[in-house]
Amino acid sequence: MSKQTNRKLVVGISSRALFNLEKENQIFEDMGLKEYKKYQLEHENEELEKGPGFPLIEALLKMDEKLDDFDVEVMIISRNDPQTGLRVFNSIEYYGLNITRAAFTGGEPATQYLKAYNIDLFLSRSRDDVQDAINMGFAAGLLYDHQNDSYDYQIDQIRIAFDGDSVIFSDEAEKVYQEQGLCEFHRSEKEKENIPLQEGPFCQVLKKLSLIKEQETREQQYIRIAIVTARSCPAHKRPIITLRKWNALVDEIFYMGGLTKKEVLKQFNPHIFFDDQDKHLREASEYVPSVWVPYCNKKQ
């Protein structure tokens, strides 16, 4: 069966998110661009270590090999110049990643090319680039440091965990909680329990992942999706009604009701976890790769 071009997920990732370039970045910060370029050229044939986004990218590319009616493409979106970018491609070849496209912008903002490459999801280690991408209407996230030596992931099934409000869903309900408190939030959500929430920045990503899940069988589950939300009863119904309207397929949902998310995430063991709250991400990033999702024009 041939793949349809409209059934495609395009992930753009920065070189510093895919590979561990913290040492090299520190050289750039401390000694400037000239020394950074010199170091990269001198170490051009040394493979880079895996970065926080590597587990997800490796698993996505592995999954793409198995899909008949959907495409997954990964490309590098980097502020490196073509010369220093060669080390990135050498490392891609070393790890056997099927990444053939890249944009090396030579220090210019990388986000200006997201539309040109039809990017659905952009992952970076640059807070400014991520905020710019969100403001432009792209699903984007900032990868936190993740150096858990005991973290072990599988590549035969992708596991992705999302927060709900301000990530999958809009921030409309979150605003009620922030401005009027928990009691009013619960009252409002109970009153609107049959009214679907508006789309958040990662809604379209979830919908595309759901197209992949439609191909699954009992014997073959390509991807497992969980929502880990601070909501609890009586604010539990509206997310389900919303997902049902979107035809979005989710395998698990955890209503934490104020409890820490890290233990659930540790057990679920996702390749990546998306949330908009720093307090949740700092705890989770001790165990699993974690991504901060800013809301449009929201500063943290």
Listed range (33-42, 166-175, 215-224, 276-285) with the worst mean pLDDT? 33-42
Torsion of CA 142, 121, 90, 56, to 10 degrees: 80
Rounded mean pLDDT, 14-23: 90
Beta bridge partners of 261: none
For the chain, strand residue ranges (E) read 8-13, 19-20, 49-50, 71-78, 101-104, 121-124, 139-143, 158-162, 223-229, 252-255, 272-275, 290-292
Asked whether the beta carbons of 71 and 7 are under 8 A apart, the reply is yes
pLDDT, one tens digit per residue, over 47-98 is 999 999 999 999 999 999 999 889 999 999 998 888 888 999 999 999 999 9
Nearest CA to 186 among 126, 121, 255, 132?
A: 255
pLDDT, one tens digit per residue, over 246-273 is 999 999 999 999 899 999 999 999 999 9
Give the global pTM: 0.91
DSSP code for 73: E
163 as an active site residue: the answer is yes
CATH code 3.40.50.720 for 8-143 = no
H-assigned helices in 99-151: 127-135
Nearest CA to 106 among 169, 33, 174?
A: 33
* The two three-digit tokens of residue 286, written as one number: 């001790």
pLDDT, one tens digit per residue, over 148-187 is 777 888 888 999 999 999 999 999 998 988 899 889 989 9
**Per-chain mean pLDDT for the chain:** 90
Whole-angstrom distance, CA of residue 12 vs CA of residue 104: 12
Q: Would strands 223-229 and 252-255 be described as parallel, antiparallel, or unpaired? A: parallel
Counting residues of the chain whose pLDDT is more than 70, the rounded percentage is 96
Please state the φ and ψ torsions of residue 276, each to the nearest 5 degrees.
Answer: -105, 0
Please state the φ and ψ torsions of residue 265, each to the nearest 5 degrees.
Answer: -65, -35
pLDDT, one tens digit per residue, over 58-71 is 999 999 999 988 99
pLDDT at 4 over 50: no
182 contacts: CB under 8 Å, gap ≥ 6: none
Q: Say what the pLDDT of residue 106 is.
A: 84
| CATH architecture, domain defined by 158-292 | 3-Layer(aba) Sandwich (3.40)
Whole-angstrom distance, CA of residue 17 vs CA of residue 74: 13
Q: Exactly one of 163, 165, 171, 276 is catalytic; which is it? A: 163
Nearest CA to 273 among 182, 149, 153, 188?
A: 153
Q: Say what the pLDDT of residue 39 is.
A: 83
H-assigned helices in 46-81: 54-64
Longest dimension (CA), the chain: 63
Whole-angstrom distance, CA of residue 164 vs CA of residue 138: 17
Residues of the chain with CATH 3.40.50.1000: 8-143, 158-292
